[in-house]
Amino acid sequence: MKRNFKKMLAMSLACGAVFALSAPSVDASYMLNPEVKDATPALLEASEIGVLKYENPKMQNLPNKDAILVMSFGTTFKDSREKTIEATVKAIQAAHPNVKVELAFTSHIIVDRIKAKEGLDIPTPEAALQQLKKDGYTRIALCSLDVIPGMEYAYDKAIFNEYKGNFKKMTLGTSLIYWQGQEEQRDDVESALKALSTQFPAVADDEAILVMAHGTPHPANAYYAVIQDGINKMQLKNTFIYTVEGWPSLEDIIPELKAKGIKSVTLMPMMMVAGDHANNDMAGDDPDSHKSVLMKAGFKVNTYIHGLGENKAIRSLFVERANESWDMLEAK
């Protein structure tokens, strides 16, 4: 019997909230029970999921001057940055030709390194929003180029919560993979895997595809188990996901490969860019690289060193996420 998710969540929250969803809503949230008369800011913030929205009651008389701010972790690999992050930003700009679209990197270290190496000023989200405020923009649609809602997306949410009061209206879109098909929500895992699989090579019975994700100490690392389950349900042959900095690791996957009689593997990153992790951790020649570890274990290894942003189908999904944030900004 299908459990009633709405009732479960309502019962689990002592605050008396109920879960209200619409199909296929992008701004689902806990709708506070009418009995909750004086909801605290903390309770209201905890109830927010999906595309976030804030309207500043003190600024509703200001004229609308809108901008889209795209947030990405960033990379110092210039060639990959152009083919992935910048290509995605251009696609978002093409979908909104009359709107100012700005890019910010959430990695302050990468911002500093690019400045030192290339003389290029890519702002942090904080600096970008401060400049937009200075330039008179009053409504901001924040967009994320994160794959899952892990630590980097938590930073995106922190930016939203810190700066939303400085603008007339602000929205924040979701990561590439967010909804998992719960209740009447869409299944981002399935759509992302369909897009990702467009770059998969055909595999024989003794061949496999190893998809390298980042991994995170954040509880959102659990998404990788859901993604592997999606891979299995979609019958993507001999395909396994593993992580650089989380679970499962490559060492967790190797016994499965041997048990299935796999002789040859193709490594590919499930990351926005093909940066340090893809070029060095995954495909480098050092003895502890994933390629070297697999070769030492007796596997033939091929590498596919391209970030997700090079995949047109993936870029289209990121444009959809940006559109959702923009549509929420425009909604009355």
* Active-site residue set: 214
Q: Are residues 175 and 323 in the same domain?
A: yes
Q: Are residues 65 and 175 in the same domain?
A: yes
To which H or E segment does residue 139 belong?
strand 139-144
User: CATH number, domain at 89?
Assistant: 3.40.50.1400
Q: Are residues 126 and 193 in the same domain?
A: no
What confidence score (pLDDT) does residue 17 get? 42
First to last CA, the chain: 39
Q: Are residues 218 and 165 in the same domain?
A: no
Q: Are residues 209 and 64 in the same domain?
A: no
From start to end of 164-314, where are the E strands? 169-172, 207-213, 239-243, 264-269, 300-303
Q: Are residues 95 and 134 in the same domain?
A: yes
* Residue numbers of the domain that contains 24: 5-48
- Counting beta carbons within 10 angstroms of the beta carbon of residue 218, is it exposed (0 to 12), middle (13 to 18) or buried (19 or more)? middle
Non-local CB neighbours of 269 within 8 Å, separated by 6+ positions: 211, 212, 213, 277, 278, 282, 304, 305, 306, 307, 308
Quick: pLDDT tens for 114-163.
999 999 999 999 999 999 999 999 999 999 999 999 999 999 999 999 99
Q: Are residues 90 and 10 in the same domain?
A: no
Q: Which position has the higher pLDDT, 149 or 41?
A: 149
Q: Are residues 140 and 108 in the same domain?
A: yes
Closest CA to 240 of 219, 267, 217, 279: 267
Q: Is a pLDDT exceeding 80 seen at residue 93?
A: yes
What confidence score (pLDDT) does residue 146 get? 98
Quick: pLDDT tens for 232-262.
999 999 999 999 999 999 999 999 999 999 9
**What are 16's two structure tokens?**
């008396």
Amino acid making up residue 262: I
To which H or E segment does residue 68 belong?
strand 66-72
Minimum mean pLDDT range among 17-26, 102-111, 179-188, 263-272: 17-26
Quick: pLDDT tens for 96-125.
999 999 999 999 999 999 999 999 999 999
Q: Are residues 63 and 174 in the same domain?
A: yes
Residue for token pair 């210039």: 78
Euclidean distance between CA atoms 198 and 205, whole angstroms = 19
Q: Are residues 175 and 247 in the same domain?
A: no
Structural domains counted in the chain: 3
Q: How many helices (H) and strands (E) does the chain have?
A: 13, 11
Q: Are residues 198 and 261 in the same domain?
A: yes
**What are 12's two structure tokens?**
């689990």
Q: Are residues 174 and 63 in the same domain?
A: yes
Which pTM value belongs to this model? 0.90
